[in-house]
Structure formats: structure tokens, C-alpha cells
């Protein structure tokens, strides 16, 4: 599974929506995610990829695609180290 | 009051009330471990402010809602310091919803962070206080005893915290560990701004007889006193810091009729 697929699965599980409705353009609002859903998704992604996503960064995510891109950049950085 | 040479862990110590407590304890000479979860930058900034006071400061990331993360944090403290003198269980979270909309997810998230963390942190802290005594102070809220709008699950978690404080105080008394909690009314912090945004708070509810809102430092002053030897005989108490709000409810209602 790609990073994107793994994150989509996490977000879908937490917000209880079908993964297929989450596109890179989806906002948290589109999938009716409340603030608790967002925090829980962040925590689950952090644990899966063993990275830290500070709120200062997370607040910049406009949509699912931003979230995925951020995690991808962090994961690829970690692989290079 | 001096806390020179003492080591204090402040959960959620990077900002808001936790930050004010960390700075207050540091100003009295305590070295501080700041636990944070979501806001690393602010926690590190607070650590720098603490170091500027001439004591040691370090940051430790952990979600206190997750028992395994609490274990890891205390494992680190144990191996690095081998002791702890003061535990401030301050980290809190919550979901602002009316009672009919509270689901198990919101309930568990809030209870785990606000109430269970005090139990798990104190169990580990007490071992690090063995033979030396210590202080445990948690932060509660008027919402434990009074109904605030959309505050159900937080209020319930704080009621659990206060009850737990009494049990801890009695069972840990033989080890010279003093356990108390400080219950504040609405305090001017980022968290309050969040609740305003969520439609939870209404300024009119918080007009206090003391003439102003409670500041983080007001809470920190009382916490620091409870950490001092002067407070040795205070055990299992909930100390209310609200500028008189809770006892002045009917007086405030009378004003409306004038």
C-alpha cells in the first residue's frame, strides 16, 4: 500500500466513511470530520509512520492531499537518513 | 517557599495554565520537565523561558491518554533522574458537545486524558517519590460540580479526577505524598478561545465577583502553595480558584433584578 492509501484507510476508519469518497481535494469538513477525528487521525498516522506532526504544521493542511504530501515528504526524508 | 533542588513534571506544561505553573515552580527553584503532546514549538519556547530563570528544563513528548506513552515517559524519567518530587497532572482535552451528542469516542478520549492519566501518572510518580515524599497536584474545573454548556464529558472527567484525588491522597498519605487538585473557572488561555469558537463559553457566565477573569498565574500561585511544605496538612482537597463565581451565583442573579 502507498502512503496515500494507508492514510486514506486511517482517516476512513476514524471518520467512519467509505475510503473511496476521500480524494486528495477532500477537506476534513467534506468528510464531516470533527476536531477529535482530526487529532485521532494525526495520532494514528504519526504512530504508523513513526513521525511527529506538530499542530503548527497540521493547521496548514487545507485538504487530504496536503496531509498526504506532508507525510510523504517526512517519510522520504526519514528513509534517506 | 523554596523548591530548590526539586524535580517537577508538568503534563501539558508548554502552554496555558501548565506553562504558568511550570514558570512559577521554576521561579521557586525547581527543575522542570515539560510534557507536551501536540505543540512542540511552544513547549520548547517555554523550556527556554524556564532556563532563563536559572533552573534546568527539558521537554518530553507523550500523549497522556495512551498508557504505553505514559510508561515510556516515566521510564525515561526513571533512567535519567531516578526520582521525582512533584507531579502536576495538568494536560487536558475535551470535546464540546451537548449531552445527547456525546458518543463513546468522545467519552473515552476525554476520560483517558483528563482522569485516567492522573491515576497512571501518579502510580508511576509515587514509586519515584518513595522514601522522599512528594506532591501531586492536578487541575480540575468548576464544570465538575456545575453545569456548563456543552461541557458534559469534560465536567464528568473532572468529577472523576476530584474523586480520584481523594483516594490517592488517603492511600498515599503514609508515603508522605500530598495529593490535591485545583479547580478553576474559565481561565484566559488558548483552550478557552477554542471553546469560545466551539460555542461553549459565554463571557456572561464568567463575570466574577473578583472583577476579572481568572488568569493562569492565579491558578499557578495556588498550585505552587500546594507544592510547598506549608501545605503539608492539606490532603485530598479540591481548592477552587474562581474569583468567587461559584459562591456568588445568587448574588449575580440579584444584580439582574436591579
- How confident is the model over B103-121, as pLDDT tens digits? 999 999 999 999 999 999 9
Segments in chain B below pLDDT 70: 1, 190-207, 252-258
B63 touches chain A (CB under 8 A): yes
Partner residue facing A36 (CB), from B40, B41, B109: B109
Judged against a pLDDT cut of 60, whether residue A24 lies above it is answered with yes
Whether B190 is in a domain gets the answer yes
Residue numbers in B near A35 (CB within 8 A): 95, 198
| pLDDT band (50, 70, 90) for residue A80 | low
Judged against a pLDDT cut of 90, whether residue A13 lies above it is answered with yes
Q: What 3-state class would DSSP assign to B240?
A: strand
**Cβ pair A56:B41 closer than 8 A:** yes
**Cβ pair B106:A36 closer than 8 A:** yes
Residue numbers in B near A58 (CB within 8 A): 38
Whether B168 is in a domain gets the answer yes
Round to whole Å and give the CA distance between A54 and A75: 15
What is the structure's pLDDT at B221?
98
What is the structure's pLDDT at B210?
86
Partner residue facing B40 (CB), from A42, A43, A54: A54
Whether B2 is in a domain gets the answer no
What is the structure's pLDDT at B92?
94
Range(s) of the domain holding residue B95: 7-256
Q: How many CA atoms lie within 13 A of B150 on its CB side?
A: 13
What is the structure's pLDDT at B170?
98
Q: pLDDT above 90 covers what percent of chain A?
A: 68
Q: What is the DSSP string of B116-184?
A: IHHHHHHHHHHHHTTTT-EEEEEEEEGGGTS--TTBHHHHHHHHHHHHHHHHHHHHHGGGTEEEEEEEE
- How confident is the model over A32-64, as pLDDT tens digits? 888 899 999 999 999 999 999 988 889 899 999
Whether B1 is in a domain gets the answer no
CATH of the domain at B33: 3.40.50.720
**Domain tally for chain B?**
1
ipTM over 0.85: no
A55 touches chain B (CB under 8 A): yes
Question: Domains of chain A, with CATH numbers?
Answer: 3-80 (1.10.1200.10)
Rounded to the nearest 5 degrees, what angle is found at the Cα of B109, between the Cα atoms of B214 and B162?
Answer: 50
What is the structure's pLDDT at B193?
65
What is the structure's pLDDT at B245?
87
Whether B133 is in a domain gets the answer yes
A68 versus B187: which is more confidently predicted? A68
A34 is catalytic: yes
Amino acid at each position: 500500500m502507498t502512503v496515500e492509501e494507508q492514510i486514506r484507510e486511517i482517516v476512513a476508519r476514524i471518520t467512519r466513511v467509505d475510503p473511496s469518497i476521500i480524494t486528495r481535494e477532500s477537506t476534513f469538513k467534506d468528510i464531516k470530520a470533527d476536531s477529535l477525528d482530526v487529532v485521532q487521525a494525526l495520532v494514528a498516522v504519526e504512530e504508523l509512520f513513526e513521525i511527529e506532526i506538530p499542530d503548527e504544521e497540521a493547521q496548514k493542511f487545507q485538504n487530504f492531499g496536503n496531509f498526504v504530501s506532508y507525510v510523504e515528504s517526512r517519510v522520504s526524508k526519514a528513509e534517506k537518513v | 517557599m523554596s523548591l530548590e533542588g526539586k524535580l517537577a513534571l508538568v503534563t501539558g506544561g508548554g502552554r496555558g495554565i501548565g506553562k504558568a505553573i511550570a514558570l512559577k515552580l521554576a521561579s521557586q527553584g525547581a527543575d522542570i520537565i515539560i510534557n507536551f503532546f501536540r505543540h512542540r514549538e511552544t513547549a520548547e519556547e517555554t523550556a527556554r523561558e524556564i532556563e532563563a530563570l536559572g533552573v534546568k528544563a527539558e521537554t518530553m513528548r507523550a500523549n497522556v491518554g495512551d498508557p504505553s506513552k505514559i510508561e515510556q515517559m516515566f521510564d525515561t524519567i526513571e533512567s535519567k533522574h531516578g526520582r521525582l518530587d512533584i507531579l502536576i497532572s495538568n494536560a487536558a482535552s475535551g470535546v464540546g458537545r451537548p449531552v445527547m451528542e456525546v458518543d463513546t469516542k468522545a467519552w473515552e478520549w476525554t476520560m483517558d486524558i483528563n482522569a485516567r492519566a492522573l491515576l497512571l501518572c501518579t502510580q508511576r510518580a509515587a514509586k519515584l517519590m518513595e522514601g522522599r515524599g512528594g506532591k501531586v497536584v492536578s487541575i480540575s474545573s468548576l464544570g465538575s460540580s456545575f453545569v456548563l454548556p456543552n461541557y458534559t464529558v469534560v465536567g464528568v472527567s473532572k468529577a472523576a479526577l476530584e474523586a480520584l484525588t481523594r483516594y490517592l491522597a488517603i492511600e498515599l498519605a503514609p508515603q508522605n505524598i500530598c495529593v490535591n487538585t485545583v479547580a478553576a473557572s474559565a481561565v484566559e488561555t488558548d483552550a478557552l478561545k477554542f471553546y469560545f469558537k466551539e460555542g461553549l463559553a459565554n463571557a456572561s457566565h464568567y463575570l466574577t465577583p473578583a472583577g476579572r477573569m481568572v488568569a493562569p498565574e492565579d491558578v499557578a500561585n495556588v498550585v505552587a502553595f500546594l507544592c510547598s511544605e506549608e501545605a503539608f496538612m492539606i490532603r485530598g482537597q479540591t481548592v477552587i480558584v474562581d474569583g468567587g463565581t461559584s459562591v456568588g451565583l445568587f448574588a449575580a442573579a440579584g444584580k439582574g433584578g436591579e
